[in-house]
Amino acid sequence: MGRGKIVIRRIDNSTSRQVTFSKRRNGLLKKAKELAILCDAEVGVMIFSSTGKLYDFASSSMKSVIDRYNKSKEHCQLGSSVSEIKFWQREAAMLRQQLHNLQESHRKMMGEELSGLTVKDLQNLENQLEISLRGVRMKKDQLLMDEIQELNQKGNLIQQENVELYKKVNLICQENKELKKKVYGTKDENETNRNSVLTNGLSIGEDLHVPVNLQLSQPQQQHYKAPSGTTKLGLQLH
């Protein structure tokens, strides 16, 4: 039977972990040494254990390997920066050319700098302008139609509101007529009743305007005998 697949994860048991570290460290250093000898490669390996102990191997010297690594990394970074600069320079040049072409086309459409164009070029330019003008007119007509439709809708709403208001006004006028009939009918009845009532032989209407005068006078002779020694006073209306 073959060996089962090992799950790559941290070993919880400290003894097993230490044994595995020692075996794999030795195997890695052995493979690095074989790679340097067989392929004439400059190899440098550094390993730190969990306790901080260093294990290393270098085909020449660790210092030379590290120096070569730093120089190579700086060169790669510089080469990457140079490549990026060249890329953006090409992009900028291409954008400048596009801008120049657009400006030239705009000037031609405005009727400027046409001296170097042939009859065919002028005909193509005229066709482009006619197509553009047709599109502009279509867009303008569409906007005008939309505005007219919107105004018609608003007019219909206003007309409906006017009809509703007219109905309300007619209803209010009808209510006012009915109230007027009720008020004036009651007033006529009250006027008739007031003129028919008499108080002390005079109508109410006449009493309102007749002046009243009061004065003292001697009382008229009565059919009964008044007691002696008393003063007789009377009040008459004139």
Structure confidence by residue, pLDDT tens digits, 56-102: 999 988 999 998 888 888 777 766 777 778 888 888 999 999 999 89
- Secondary structure letter of residue 110 according to DSSP: T
Q: Which of 12, 56, 4, 6 is nearest to 33 (CA)?
A: 56
pLDDT at residue 198, as a whole number: 43
27 φ, ψ (degrees, to nearest 5): -65, -40
**CA separation for the pair 57, 35 (Å, rounded):** 12
188-195, long-range: CB < 8 A, 24+ apart: none
Which tens digits make up the pLDDT trace of 92-150? Answer: 999 999 999 898 888 888 888 787 778 888 888 888 889 988 999 999 999 999 999 99
Q: Which residue do the tokens 């400048």 mark? A: 96
Q: Which residues contact 142 (CB under 8 A, 6 or more apart)?
A: none
Where is pLDDT greater, at 119 or 1?
A: 119
68-75, long-range: CB < 8 A, 24+ apart: 68/42, 69/44
Q: Which of 72, 32, 36, 38 is nearest to 55 (CA)?
A: 32
Statement: residue 51 has pLDDT above 80: yes
pTM, 2 dp: 0.34
Q: Do 41 and 69 contact (CB within 8 A), yes or no?
A: no
Which tens digits make up the pLDDT trace of 171-216? Answer: 999 999 989 888 887 666 666 666 554 444 444 444 444 454 544 4
Statement: residue 162 has pLDDT above 70: yes
Q: Provide the mean pLDDT of the chain.
A: 79
Q: Do 46 and 65 contact (CB within 8 A), yes or no?
A: no
pLDDT at residue 226, as a whole number: 47
* Residue 44 burial (CB count, 10 A): 19
**C-alpha 88: how far from chain center:** 39
pLDDT at residue 56, as a whole number: 92
Q: Do 49 and 55 contact (CB within 8 A), yes or no?
A: yes
* Alpha helices, DSSP H, located in 57-118: 62-109
**CA separation for the pair 97, 93 (Å, rounded):** 6
